[in-house]
Chain A
Amino acid sequence: MLKISNLTARVAGKNILNGVDLEVNAGEIHALMGPNGSGKSTLAQILAGREDYEITGGSVLFEGRDLLALPPEERARAGLFLGFQYPVEIPGVNNVYLLKAALNAKRKAAGEPEVDAYEFLALIKQKMKFMQMSESFLTRGVNEGFSGGEKKRNEVLQMLVLEPKLAILDETDSGLDIDALKVVSNGVNSLRDPHRSVVLVTHYQRLLDYIVPDRVHVFSGGRILKSGDKSLALELEKRGYDWLQESRVA
């Protein structure tokens, strides 16, 4: 599904990614953990096609295609989805118009007809119900005035409607109350499928009680320091990150 090899990148003359290697197979869920500022969001944004970063080396294959050669909109249409750590507010652009445009762009790229307006409304209402979002969000601007938790739910709502092959969720669990965490986790789990993969960026092992990962990676200093199974997350919870850095230096 996704194969990142020795990816290096910098911004404003500063090296941020220092040789990332990561392989995610179809059907797998990977968790990416690591200290603040280690470059997790940078990696996520680069995968989604953000142009502010200079890629200095390495490669990324998405279903065997050179992902880095595609503009962001084509990556999305090919089935990649980024749940933003900080979803931007877009006042004046209706939340549902955006979703409809997004879905139609994807269908068009796949040679499918545009979604019928009535069917779309039914679909989105059903997904909103699943995400426990009130229908008042139908008429609002994209993330406009949403609370932190509402923004995260909205990201997952978009993911459920777009049904991506690979979802990268950047701290989608941050700022959620316990109930919302369950709702968001249910959303992610509902997409779980042998043909779909998820990369969860998170600081909290709690999330992994709800969404059980196949692999856990520790990201530090712009690269993956250590990988393991779910038990690695528990160990991090107990011991923090320092022991890893020390063991590496040693």
Chain B
Amino acid sequence: MSATAHSASPATAAAAGAAPQSAALRSFEAQWHARRAGPLHALRESAMQRFVQLGLPTMRDETWRYTNLRALAAHAYVDAAGDAPAAALQSDSLRSPALRIVNGVPCAADRARLLENGLEIMPLSELLRGDPVLLRGFLEPLSDADQQRWALLNTALFVDGLYIRITARLAAPLRLVHVTAGPGAAHPRVIIEAAPGSAATIVEEHVSHGDADSLCNSVTQIAAGAGAEIEHYRIFRGGPRAAHIDTLDIRQAGGSRCKQFTICLGGALLRTNLEARLEAAGAALDSYALLVGHGSRHADCVNIATHSAPDTRSRQTARIIASGDSRVIFNSKVIVCTGAVRSESMQSCRGLLMSPAAEIDTRPQLEIHTDEVKCAHGATTGRLDPDMLFYMLSRGLDRRTAQSLLVYAFLADVMTDMSPAAGRDSIDSALLAQLPESDLLRGLR
């Protein structure tokens, strides 16, 4: 295929009035030009065009008000796909059995080990060749919404990924470990389809490998059939130079239940999007965000739950801790569409500031287009309670232990709702490792 087949050249973008192109944008275009055309080429090309036309999100975009991508935009990214250094596969956080996905490409050997009754796993590259019509259904429609901007880029540039179909009630959790090996950008994509009545726990863990600047632009889509029960984790544990933008789309049919955990424990820059659509009566979503701002980390979490049918329920719980000069943002929004009567929603967000330079911004929003709904929201941010702290000091505990106990207690609401099978203990340990005096804390539990 020739480069002229692509209309998303810098010249057209400039003509469409987009902002001056950044190094990052030009490098993404270069990646696109280097790809060979395959099935769904036209669709992916239009995704690329839209991304180039709209440009990288800026602080003028509604959901990007708190996140400045200037540093990221100045970076020229090479295509990280395919070249997986062997060392990246030795990552210590891997707990077997897990399916490793390195720079967006799943390891064939892992996949063979994991197959069981009721679980189908197919690389997206295979699905693209074998059943492009099925895949198209997940890539369309393309959205211009600013929280979906990076998903457009992923749609254009993903090289591979996973299509996971669940047809039974799976006993063991399915563990995916995404490794981004810098330098460069990876665009992993995971599509999970849960058949009616099926059930599964899926843990997606994101780690980075190496010291170079890396960018991971991941997209996960979950379609939960009628009555399906899905528990999904996305755990971010990137290194100190890792930038990560993750977009999670969930669509829920009647009576389906989805429990979603977003856990930020690493990375320099993290942006997570969650868009959940409750599309038929009885669909219920429980989303939890546990965000730890450490050092100079910047984490920006956007959750949008849309109730488009009557008798649907969503609950969003966020617990945020920020220390150092980190900044953590949590924006949640509930949209209740016309006709979605008897919908119930709850948004609870609590932030804990651990240092004077840390910052937490929260914004719960409600958009209600019908009567007869029950929507509650609350957001508070503060410091450790001095009365509680003094009480513990007066019993002889040292200050750091007392603080850690309080922090740990603060997170308990989210931790206790996790299934132990999903590795609550390992999440727990990773979390404790970022708290002061973690060894003392371990001894206390």
* Partner-binding segment picked from A26-34, A88-96, A122-130: A88-96
| Residues of chain B with a CB closer than 8 A to A97's CB | 405, 444-445
B401 at interface, CB cutoff 8 A = yes
B43 at interface, CB cutoff 8 A = no
Q: Shortest CB–CB separation between residue A163 and chain B, in angstroms?
A: 12
| Residues of chain A with a CB closer than 8 A to B385's CB | 88
Complex Cα distance, B410 from A48, in Å, reads: 26
Q: In the complex, which range does the number of interface residues on chain B fall in?
A: 20 to 34
Quick check: B395 and A88 within 8 Å, CB to CB?
no
Mark each residue of chain B from 387 to 416: 1 if its CB lies under 8 Å from any CB of chain A, else 0.
110111111111101000110111011000
- SS class, residues of chain B in contact with chain A: helix
| Residues of chain A with a CB closer than 8 A to B399's CB | 71, 73
| Most chain B CB inside 10 Å of its own CB: which residue of A84, A90, A106 | A90
Complex Cα distance, B387 from A99, in Å, reads: 17
Chain B positions 400-439 with a Cβ under 8 Å from a chain A Cβ: 401, 405-406, 408-410, 412-413
Q: Which of B387, B392, B396, B406 contacts A162 (CB 8 A)?
A: B396
Quick check: A72 and B444 within 8 Å, CB to CB?
no
Chain A positions 73-107 with a Cβ under 8 Å from a chain B Cβ: 73, 75-77, 81-82, 84, 87-88, 90-93, 97-102, 105-106
Complex Cα distance, B281 from A235, in Å, reads: 73
Quick check: B396 and A76 within 8 Å, CB to CB?
yes
A50 at interface, CB cutoff 8 A = yes
| Residues of chain B with a CB closer than 8 A to A102's CB | 395-397
Quick check: A98 and B392 within 8 Å, CB to CB?
yes
Quick check: A76 and B394 within 8 Å, CB to CB?
yes
A58 at interface, CB cutoff 8 A = no
Quick check: A82 and B406 within 8 Å, CB to CB?
no
Complex Cα distance, B387 from A142, in Å, reads: 13
Q: In the complex, which range does the number of interface residues on chain A fall in?
A: 20 to 34
Quick check: B405 and A93 within 8 Å, CB to CB?
yes
| Residues of chain A with a CB closer than 8 A to B405's CB | 93, 97-98, 101
A158 at interface, CB cutoff 8 A = yes
Quick check: B406 and A90 within 8 Å, CB to CB?
yes
Quick check: A84 and B408 within 8 Å, CB to CB?
no
A141 at interface, CB cutoff 8 A = yes
Complex Cα distance, B396 from A99, in Å, reads: 10
Complex Cα distance, B394 from A101, in Å, reads: 12
Quick check: B444 and A73 within 8 Å, CB to CB?
no
| Most chain A CB inside 10 Å of its own CB: which residue of B397, B401, B408 | B397
Complex Cα distance, B18 from A126, in Å, reads: 75
Quick check: B398 and A105 within 8 Å, CB to CB?
yes
Complex Cα distance, B268 from A169, in Å, reads: 49
Complex Cα distance, B371 from A189, in Å, reads: 64
A49-B387 contact in complex given A73-B399, A92-B412, C-beta closer than 8 Å? no
Quick check: A77 and B396 within 8 Å, CB to CB?
yes
Where the two chains meet, the residues of A that have a C-beta atom closer than 8 Å to any C-beta of B are: 48-50, 52, 71-73, 75-77, 81-82, 84, 87-88, 90-93, 97-102, 105-106, 109, 141-142, 158, 162
> What are some 15 contacts across the A-B interface (CB < 8 A)?
A49-B393, A73-B396, A73-B399, A76-B396, A88-B391, A90-B392, A91-B409, A91-B412, A92-B408, A92-B413, A97-B444, A100-B444, A101-B401, A105-B396, A109-B396
Extra contacts besides A73-B397, A93-B392 (5): CB < 8 Å: A76-B393, A88-B385, A90-B391, A105-B396, A158-B395
For the complex of A and B, 8 pairs with smallest distance between CB atoms: A92-B409, A76-B396, A102-B395, A105-B396, A92-B412, A72-B393, A88-B387, A93-B409
